[in-house]
């Protein structure tokens, strides 16, 4: 495998830093980037949005030819990043629930049915879309 140069961008709520690392894969570069941050976050060349270098929100890794990438998101930013895919999956689930005959479901000791679940999903989709 050929070693590549990866551009790593560290993101915090108020600062970002850009470093280059050499690695065989984007996943390997991401591991190096996380280790670099863990060893000495203040040693990175932070550029200011408006202040603090913690907490780390995201690490973005790009290869020099952009064909190999990796990302890491903190727990707080993972949901917004996944939201479009979650919304699409929820819309598919609603379609499937509304197509299938009504069935009963037990969730955490509570009994409900597929139509109630579809209605709850519809409310969540409407809220996500602001309607």
Pick left, alpha or beta for residue 11 (phi over 0 → left; psi -120 to 50 → alpha; otherwise beta): beta
Per-residue pLDDT at 70: 82
CA separation for the pair 83, 89 (Å, rounded): 10
Are residue 17 and residue 57 in the same domain, yes or no? yes
Q: What is the pLDDT along the chain (131 residues), one digit of tens a residue?
A: 688 999 998 988 778 899 999 999 999 999 999 999 999 999 999 887 755 556 777 788 888 777 778 888 777 767 777 888 999 999 999 999 989 999 998 888 889 999 999 999 999 999 888 88
Are residue 100 and residue 44 in the same domain, yes or no? no
Are residue 57 and residue 102 in the same domain, yes or no? no
Are residue 93 and residue 44 in the same domain, yes or no? no
CA separation for the pair 14, 41 (Å, rounded): 14
Per-residue pLDDT at 24: 92
Are residue 66 and residue 9 in the same domain, yes or no? yes
Number of domains, the chain: 2
Domain residues for the domain of 63 are 4-73
Per-residue pLDDT at 6: 92
């Amino acid at each position: 495998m050929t070693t590549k140069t990866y551009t790593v961008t560290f993101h915090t709520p108020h600062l970002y830093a850009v470093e280059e690392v050499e690695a065989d894969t984007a996943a390997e570069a991401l591991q190096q980037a996380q280790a670099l941050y863990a060893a000495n976050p203040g040693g990175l060349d932070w550029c200011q949005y408006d202040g603090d270098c913690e907490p780390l929100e995201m690490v973005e890794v790009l290869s020099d030819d952009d064909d190999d990438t990796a990302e890491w998101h903190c727990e707080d930013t993972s949901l917004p990043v996944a939201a479009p895919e979650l919304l699409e999956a929820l819309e598919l689930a609603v379609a499937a629930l509304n197509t299938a005959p009504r069935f009963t479901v037990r969730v955490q000791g509570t009994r409900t049915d597929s139509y109630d679940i579809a209605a709850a999903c519809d409310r969540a989709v409407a809220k996500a879309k602001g309607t």
